[in-house]
Amino acid sequence: MAQTEIPSYKRMDTAAEPAKKKQTSTLRLKKRDYIAGGLSFLLARASMFGSMSPFATAFFASSFTKGRMPLTMLCTLVGCLSVGMGTTAFKYLIAMGIFAAYKLLFDKRGQNAALVNAAAASMGLFIGGMVMMLFDMVLIYNVLLLCLECLLCGFLTIVFRETNSLIEKQESVKGKVTNEQLLSLLIVFGLAIAGLNDITRLGQVSLSEIVCVLAILLLAYCRGMAIGACAGAAAGIVCAMNSTDMLPVIGIYTLCGFLAGCAKPIGKYGVALAFALAAASLGFMTTMFIYGQVSILNFILGAALFMLAPKSKLERVAGFVNGYYTSRSERPYMERMQEVMLSRLGDLSSTFSSLADSFDTLSERRACEGRLNMTQVFDDTAQKICRQCGLRGHCWEKEAQLTHKTIVGMGKKLEEKGYADVLDLAPEFREKCVHAGEFVAAANHFYEISRINALWEGQLEESRQVLSQQYKGFASVMDSLSLELQNDISCESKYEKKILSELIKRKITLKSICVFEKPDGSFEAEAEFYDEEDMEAAEEMLSVVSQVLGQPMRMAGMPGDTLKVLIEPLLNYKIVSGIATVKKDGEEQNGDTCCALSLSDNRYALAISDGMGSGAAAANESKTTIQLLKKLLLAGFDRTAAIQLINSALVLKNGQESFATIDLALIDLVSAKAEFVKIGAATGYIRRADSIDSIFCSTLPAGILSEADIQLSCRRLAAGDCIIMVSDGVANAKKNANWVCETLMGLAEEEEPETIAEIVLKEAVIHKRGAVNDDMTVIAAKILEK
């Protein structure tokens, strides 16, 4: 009993620990909390008409969290005091305290609507303002200004929520930045820079105005005239909030942003020139520039800085703004999708495995039931003949031993000949049985029925075994896909960060890079550049990737996109192959089919299939086998699953006998490791510098058994080795089974693969004196260093 209580106690204890950690983790400040604190400090320094500063309070309300609250309140107080606000700062501290009390007491889960939060912030500011007036003087003018400030605070609380969503990385799942978020971001950072206006202004040059101009140009360049005009209006409000002529200033910024957006199709130079020309034209038409309300110098400097900005940097920012830049904000969504795919693939794999097991169990149970049941045959015979006979008591009770002996002997005759006659009965039984002829006829009838049932059960069992193998193959593929996805999730952040960090040090710009780790431990990556100018650093980027991944890599272009490259492991070897083939005399088609192809996992495949017989029928079988093998290997099936699926297809093909050999060689072009799979195939050979290595098997062709007997042989190759694969027609051309080996030993080492294949085939035909009585195929493939 004590042992059963201890685990339950530990489970309760371990469940309590995460809750405690979760409770204390809210007090730990994060990077975004410091960003919010810095913005609170700057917003507290910004003022409107010299007396109103609701910006920090609105930002506090829009980005409120329990853990961040002390930091933002402290930064707001310091910001207010830094501009000499004095006791007025307590008005905003009171407002923040009232709002915090409301959130902590009445809205603990943060589910209230934005309008309710805005109303709470405005009410808190109104109470704070009235409290401060009680210590000074209550005037109608001051109350009206306070009401205006409260309305502005509520409005800005709603606006600033969009900026907070970016700070908290809660943007939409695809990383798309909305128009509202862009304009909110512009207002927040414009006001923040305005908080440094007394520090960042040098004569007519104002950093806040220049930053606003750059923001207008960037948004006009990215989103066009509509967002350019809106950005101009927002920037105008920020820059003119202390001006007595606010509306004309807003109009100038808005019109300049609209005209800059109209020039978006021309590019960054067109956008900048349109903005500068619009500003100059308005300078002549209005007095805003003359009387210093707006500085033309800030407009020109902002446009000049925008034109000087590197195109790659602008494209990166434009990618973020337009939503096609796949940054870390999109990574959680991608990882979640991968987790869902892993779960679905795991469920599918488990389902297919369960189906395969159920068919295996059913086949084992039916294997015994499907055999000929002689007991049932004679039971049915006795029921039909002996039941109505008056002498049944004598035969089945008094002479039971004689009857049993007769039935056993008759059963043996049925199994030997497939039928029985009266003479097969024991003489004593035959003399006493009055229905001997009818008894034998009934036994033959029920035996035939039992035999037919057994045949059908055998075919059903074979079909079940085939389905079981197919389901196991599907489950294997699902497991392989799950493993690849799981490796991708585990490796991408680890290696991509290192690569990007190293590229930044070398001033190499990439739009994106994705790293994938394969089950065999090798890596693959996809990189995308911003433009062709950035691609000039592709070789240096490749060396960085090779250094970080710890293995030599190579680049390959990706079809349909000139700015994307595929980075794969550097292949240490290459394959040069040659094929020689001849069909049987009198046949229009060759019954052998072969192929040589490169696979996506840095391997090279060689395959020969010999169909049963010769001519069109054999050609159809071998061609079907090779086509299926190619598609399955290219689709990612492993060799075992692919061959089992092909075997199943041949077994079930139209109920006909469909046999074909499979001779498969898979060569890893990175490690030079070779795998040989032979299903009823002839002996293969590896011609090395000083020896000949034979590879043979003793298995039946595919399509005979419901489960193919796969024999795997592995060999380590070296540069210069040559693989020779032959079909049965070549291997059996001479009585001497080693004739191919002897022929290869007599060839020069520098012979080309195509020449080797032709020489072997020619020797086979010569020995047959020119008469080709079987299809013949030879593949020779030499491995060379790159």
Q: What is the 3-state secondary structure (H, E, C) of 341-367?
A: HHHHHHHHHHHHHHHHHHHHHHHHHHH
Contacts of 460 by beta carbon, 8 Å cutoff, 6+ apart: 366, 370
The answer to whether the CB of 468 falls within 8 A of the CB of 380 is no
Alpha carbons 410 and 406: distance in angstroms, whole number: 6
pLDDT of 357: 66
pLDDT of 352: 63
Residue of higher predicted confidence among 275 and 164: 275
Give the bridge partners for 664, in sequence order.
607, 677
Helix-strand-coil split of the chain, %, nearest 5: 60, 15, 25
CA angle 624, 629, 634 (to 5 degrees): 130
pLDDT in tens, 767-783: 877 678 888 999 999 99
Give the range among 111-115, 226-230, 432-436, 732-736 with minimum mean pLDDT.
Answer: 111-115
Q: Which among 574, 570, 597, 604 is positioned nearest to 785, based on CA atoms?
A: 574
For the residues 141-165, what does the mean pLDDT come to? 84
pLDDT of 175: 45
pLDDT of 361: 60
Confidence of residue 723 (pLDDT cuts 50, 70, 90): very high
Check whether 253 has a pLDDT greater than 50. yes
Check whether 292 has a pLDDT greater than 60. no
Alpha carbons 686 and 663: distance in angstroms, whole number: 14
Mean pLDDT of the chain, nearest integer: 77
pLDDT of 594: 93
pTM reported for the whole predicted model: 0.49
For the residues 62-75, what does the mean pLDDT come to? 83
Give the range among 136-150, 504-518, 664-678, 752-766 with minimum mean pLDDT.
Answer: 504-518
* Strand residues in 35-175 grouped as ranges (E): none
The answer to whether the CB of 125 falls within 8 A of the CB of 54 is yes
Buried b / exposed e along 620-635 (16+ C-beta atoms within 10 A): bbbbbbbebbbebbee
Phi, psi of 98 (to 5 degrees): -65, -45
Alpha-carbon distances, residue 637 vs 344, 645, 651 (angstroms): 18, 10, 20
pLDDT of 336: 54
Confidence of residue 659 (pLDDT cuts 50, 70, 90): confident
The H or E element that residue 725 is part of is strand 722-726
Place of tokens 């075919």: 459
Alpha carbons 494 and 496: distance in angstroms, whole number: 6
For the residues 164-175, what does the mean pLDDT come to? 53
Confidence of residue 327 (pLDDT cuts 50, 70, 90): very low
Alpha-carbon distances, residue 190 vs 237, 241, 251, 279, 387 (angstroms): 10, 11, 17, 20, 107
For the residues 224-249, what does the mean pLDDT come to? 77
Alpha carbons 514 and 564: distance in angstroms, whole number: 11
